[in-house]
Amino acid sequence: MNDSQSVISASNLDLTFQTNDGPVHALKDVNLEIHKGDFVSFIGPSGCGKTTFLRVMADLEQPTGGTVTINGVSPEEARKSRAYGYVFQAAGLYPWRTIGGNIRLPLEIMGIPRAEQAERVQRVLELVELSGFEKKFPWQLSGGMQQRASIARALSFDADILLMDEPFGALDEIVRDHLNEQLLKLWARTEKTIAFVTHSIPEAVYLSTKIVVMSPRPGRIADVIESPLPRERPLEIRETPEFLEIAHRVREGLRAGHGDD
């Protein structure tokens, strides 16, 4: 157990949506602590609330019960103080701005001086291995490269927390492997706290220090697995028995959640 501080803390978190087809209990009684420097994956089938939980942390949804704090303050205050960077499923880059322009977008909004903007753009492009692509337009880049630019954009203002919603879901497996490796290296270099939503069991096990297995109807946490794998992980680790054992435990957790239907 590490005794680093708790960065994200959810207590009895509850969220019910009112939809045209009746109320949807998206999150029920969620309790979770995420510590500084953790890489936490959220995995589960559709409707288990993993994206909803991420959005609550980002102040993009409001809970209907319980509390959640980011860095000790409410999600709204955390959002206003730009405590986190958010990466969506789609890159969502503005086609009318160059890659450099897109990365500068949050910096412009946050009032960072222009000279410093240029330096930050260079730094984060280098982190995601897109140096030299500053003047290109998004449509000139492949899907994988666009997503890397989107991650660079989320890193540019040095928030300590990164919230990522299935960022690699739309990419093919080979690109995905490469990006997973890069993300781990990035995490090691920057020491950020990362909350990562995914559909893929190998991805969750490979990337995380902690895996949160969720199940649907109502959305709740089924299992929290602390990963014994070392922080330094080459891709080959995915074929080791320890890896497979964790993956097995995740799969069991998912099945149990499903079996409640």
Partner 1 sequence: MMGWVLFAIVAWLVGLSINVWLARQKPSRWAALASPVVFGLTLIAVWEGVVRGFDINQVLLPAPSVIAARFATSLDILWVDFVQTVIKGALSGYIIGCGAAFLTALAIDRFPFLQRGLLPVGNFVAALPIIGMAPIMVMWFGFGWQSKAAIVVVMVFFPMLVNTVQGLQASDAMQRDLMRTYAAGYWRTLLKLRLPAAMPFVFNGLKIGTTLALIGAIVAEFFGSPVLGMGFRISTSVGQLALDLVWAEIVVAAIAGSAFYGIMALIEGRVTFWHPSQRN
Residues that bind partner 1 (CB under 8 A): 58-60, 79-82, 84-86, 88-90, 92, 94-96, 105-106, 108-110, 137, 139
- CB of residue 82 to partner 1, shortest distance in Å: 6
Nearer to partner 1, 106 or 253 (CB): 106
Our CB check for partner 1 shows the closer of 102 and 198 to be 102
Name the minimum Å distance from CB 79 to partner 1.
6
CB of 90 to partner 1, least distance (A): 6
Nearer to partner 1, 46 or 139 (CB): 139
- Rounded CA-CA distance 154/175 in Å is 20
CB 202 to partner 1: min, Å = 26
Q: Is 259 exposed, middle or buried (0-12, 13-18, 19+ CB in 10 A)?
A: exposed
- DSSP-assigned beta bridge partners for residue 14: 65
- Which residue lies nearer to partner 1 by CB, 150 or 227? 150
Taking the complex as a whole, how short is the minimal distance between the CB of residue 233 and partner 1, in angstroms? 29
**Residue 96 or 228 having the CB closest to partner 1:** 96
Other Cβ atoms less than 10 A from the Cβ of 95: the count is 8
- Residue 43: what are its φ and ψ, rounded to 5°? -130, 145
In angstroms, give the least distance from the CB of 92 to partner 1: 5
Nearer to partner 1, 131 or 140 (CB): 140
Residue with tokens 């500084």, as numbered in its chain: 36
